[in-house]
Structure 1
Amino acid sequence: MTTTGIARSLLHGPWRAVPVLGVTQIIAWGAIFYTPVLIVPQIAAERGWSIAFAMGGFSLGLLTAGIAARTIGASIDRLGGHITMTCGSLAGALGLALITLAASPAAYYAVWILLGAAMGASLYDAAFASLGRIFGMGARRPITALTLAGGFASTVSWPMTHLLIDSIGWRGCYLVYAAALALVNAPLHAFLLPRTRHAADMPTPDTRATPKPTTLLPARGLIFLLVASAFASYAFVPSGLSAHLLAIFQRDGIDAGTVVWIGALFGPAQVIARLIEFAFGRDLHPIWIARAAFGALLVAFALLALTGITTLTAAVFALMFGGANGLVTIARGAVPLSLFGASGYGKLMGRLAAPFLLVQSAAPLVMAFVVEKISDAAALALAAAFAAVAFLCAILIRRPA
């Protein structure tokens, strides 16, 4: 599609889905996924709970999202993202409002179950499934474009959350985000997200005049298992490191202000990597994008192991980690599409999201156990081992001719 055609489609055609989902992804990630690191410790202190118990609610939410992923994906296939993602936004708004009232442990965990279902129906997996339904086999470029916007979620959310907490407290902050989900995300999904379904894999009547379609693999068997294992193994890395990496750097002698600056490199690095992929990667099979990302991450871990943690090596690691994560996010949507096709893509993404989210929910707790019982170095080695498994699985994946 030409630049003019894309610009026209942004207003009147299927490409309208990209800016719509770009806005809603920033708000949804910022409201539900990125806030716990700043708000949960305040909830724990106010209610007399341990931080581990309070953060366990977030882990339960991710577990719920994994369990619900297949059902949510099938719902997007059947009904469309304009319905399923609208419900997810409203569920998220209700959950954020209720968490301000959930004073008992049981109520608190029940609200996180609701928020977990909302995450499953609001974040990348649901957005990718919606784009697959709209664009069919042509969804790779819209997926990449969407991740460019989503990469700014943490950059926007953490400063905004900090400002809101200082101004109106954590309850007021969550109520503001609840209003954003209900009054911005839900209407955008309901009224502006395209409702069309793209018949991507349907052959034309005149088969003699058209080239033979790309061979697709069945979404089962060894290749499917390798794809699921690659991304599920990788899920341990960003989830575990996001909860512990900056603290590990600080315990290794880097001062707190520098650690914050190093952490800020992650977001821009993943956006830059996605821009490079969008500009130059269209002719490269997405499995190679995944291999390159996993390989770069292993190199980053090797750098830390061989040279030790210094300000320079920590900054380089943050840049390489951010770039790898930016590419893996694209590959999570593009690899299944290229290997297995667009038919039933929502359900397929749900099947792949389930193990990803389950590992993601367990990683912070496992890393915390290793840090406490063994050492920071052992925790980093464990994360590197999961990255190595992901890389090996990606190497073993053979795409169809």
Structure 2
Amino acid sequence: MTQASTRRSLAIVAALGLTQIVGYGTLYYSFSILAPAMAADVGLSREAVFGTFSAALLAGGFAAPFMGGWMDRFGAARMMALGSVCCTVLLSLCAVSPTGWLFGLAVILTQIATGLVTYQAAFAALVQHGPQSATRNITYLTLIAGFASSIFWPITTTLAAHFGWREIYLIFAGLNLALCLPVHLVLARGRARAMETVSGSLGAVPVEGALSPWLRRRAMLVVSLAFALSGFALSSLLVHMVPMLGAMGLGAAAVTVSALFGPAQVASRLVNMIFGARLSPTGLAIFSTALIALGGVLLAVTQGHVAGAVVFALSVGMGSGIGSIAQGSVPLHLFGSQGYGAIAGRMTAVRLVASAAAPAFFALAMERLGIPVSLLLNAAIGALGMIGFALVGRWVRQGG
């Protein structure tokens, strides 16, 4: 890769990093902070508002394969530009919704559109821009995007002290329009055709998958299931982290300990950027899932002791950070760059469906079985995901 093409790739990563911070911050991380005000305003209970958000995430999962196919056909950058317009309109629709049912519909449509502007689309854009450098660029991108929660949680909290949630959503709609749309439009222009097709003007060379064609269907099923199990284990812990730690006796310290999740997530991506070349993408997925499972086991064994809770938050955060990289790099490594959007979309769909269902199941388990047993069961689910990744990694080592 020439110095000029390297600079162009880094510029694209930086630009996409900005849109990922804004996208995840305005469309995902802000919701939990604004949800109580939303519920009171539109006449719904908090449970109904969060239930609507879960349903929206589920709908986004079902839409992911279709979106992946559109990215392959029309170019990921073009779809991201369309997504920015859709998110702007839908955030505005949320803000002006006079009734609970219209608000719920707008939330669901917003989360479906989110799939056009977040990781699934950004990873596809990087693969289409430069398949050979995509794994490295995905790592750089997740490092930048990892600051989304650290930036937008305090921004949203500060705005909530001065504005209503409707005004905040209009501000967030403006950010998607003013910041994200121009970036995505520039990347979709003719001078950046490599963002849309691996045969673009920059001469990008497609990446061949590590698996033989006769193994691909079987591997797709196994890897998708492994990502679903891993996503289930992570989502169970992430959604319930603060109240679970509080129930285990940490009290006010539960928030402080949980806050370690974000920095650990970013730090793990930085470490992977420096040392990650030693692990294959399937190895990264195994390591990520192992950290998530290990964190749950340690918390269960230490029974909520502060030291155990700290290690738990750090371990889960690091597992989540590395897992984001694996989500983008594993499909590319196993199946190649041709049709990457559709392949990654199918994997994303299974993972999101499992992640959307996980919080309810884990809450039921904690109620019926207690927190320690639930944590151990959740770790066992993660371990099954590790077995799936390890099996596919073995197929690769045996020659695909």
What TM-score, normalized by structure 2, do the two folds share? 0.91
**Which residue does 1:159 correspond to in 2?**
154
Matches of residues 41-56 of structure 1 in structure 2 within 5 Å? Answer: 41-56=36-51
- CA offsets per residue over residues 218-258 of structure 1, 9 Å max, x none? 384221111101111111123222221110111111121x2
Cα-to-partner distance string for 1:20-79 (whole Å, 9 max, x where unaligned) = 110000000000111121111221123332212111221122112111111111111121
Aligned length: 386
> Which amino acid counterpart does residue 155 of structure 1 have in structure 2?
S
Whether 1:232 and 2:228 are equivalent positions in the alignment is: yes
Give the distance between the partners of 2:272 and 2:30, measured in 1 at CA. Answer: 29
Measured in 2, the distance between the counterparts of 1:46 and 1:202 equals 51
* Letter aligned with residue 251 of structure 2: D
Answer yes or no: is the 8 Å Cα contact 1:44–1:51 preserved in 2: yes
- The answer to whether the 8 A contact 1:137-1:342 is kept is no
Partner of 2:77: 82
1:252 aligns with 2:245: no
Give the 3 Å change call, closer, same or farther, for CA 214–57 of structure 1 in structure 2. Answer: closer
Please give the alpha-carbon distance, in whole angstroms, between the structure 1 residues aligned to 2:177 and 2:209: 41
Is 1:195 paired with 2:193?
A: yes
The answer to whether the 8 Å contact 1:164/1:172 transfers is no
Query: Which of these residues, 13, 24, 28, is aligned with residue 29 of structure 1?
Result: 24
Aligned mates of 2:183, 2:343 — CA distance in 1: 25
Q: 1:329 Cα shift? A: 0.7
Q: Percent identity?
A: 35
Give 1:195's aligned amino acid.
R
Distance, in Å, in 2 between the alignment partners of 1:169 and 1:217 is 55
CA RMSD of superposed structures (Å): 2.0
Say if 2:327 is the partner of 1:362: no
The Cα offsets for residues 121-152 of structure 1, whole Å up to 9 and x where unpaired, read as: 11111111111111124310000000001111
Instruction: Identify if the C-alpha distance between structure 1 residues 243 and 113 changes in structure 2 by more than 3 Å, giving closer, same or farther.
Output: same
Query: Equivalent of 1:303, from 298, 305, 321?
Result: 298
Unaligned segments of structure 2, at least 5 residues: none
- The amino acid that maps onto 1:88 is G
Aligned to 1:399, the other structure's residue is in SS state helix
Matched residue type, 1:65 = G
Q: Bigger shift: 49-58 or 314-323? A: 49-58
Amino acid in the other structure paired with 1:247: P
Aligned residue for 2:324? 329
Partner of 2:129: 134
Aligned to 1:171, which of 166, 183, 188? 166
**CA 1:215–1:349 in structure 2 vs 1: closer, same or farther (change >3 Å)?**
closer
TM-score (structure 1 length as normaliser): 0.91
| 1:346 matches 2:341 | yes
- From 58, 80, 94, the counterpart of 1:99: 94
